Amino acid sequence: MPLRKIGELTVPSDPAYLEKVDQYSDRLFKKLPLGKNDLDDIAIAISEAVNNAMVHGNGLDADRNVHISYYLSARYLRIAVRDEGEGFIPDNVPDPTESENLLKVSGRGLLIIRHLMDRIECTILKNGMKMTLDKFFTEG
């Protein structure tokens, strides 16, 4: 089965919409071959990615949106989160596990996403940044 789109959602850059994203995602994932732990990991990763897009990508500018697209193949689930901001270079984000960053209020989103998902890719676009998150289905 090739990768096919199973859903799409666009929300304003307002953290109040994170609950709407979570509810939409839950409805899409009900019939997928994923266990509760994987579903929890995916929900947290999506929330982190969307929040990062709102805050860091779009600067909480209500005139800019975050676009979330959901894809499915026989082997994995893919979520693409795109903002309308300037983008960033993931390798330039300070390591939150280094001693000088441990007490900072933010900076852990990418680390959390990388830990919870099987593959992530960040792409700087002409008008924004796209983060692609993949979660593979376990055998059986």
Q: Residue 30: CB partners within 8 Å, gap ≥ 6? A: none
User: At how many degrees (to 10) do helices 18-29 and 36-52 cross?
Assistant: 150
Residue 84: pLDDT above 80?
Answer: yes
Alpha-carbon Rg for the chain in angstroms: 15
- Boundaries of every domain in the chain: 4-136
Assigned CATH for 4-136: 3.30.565.10
For 16-35, write each residue's pLDDT tens digit: 999 999 999 999 998 888 88
Is the separation of the CB atoms in 108 and 97 below 8 Å?
Answer: no
Res 64: pLDDT:
96
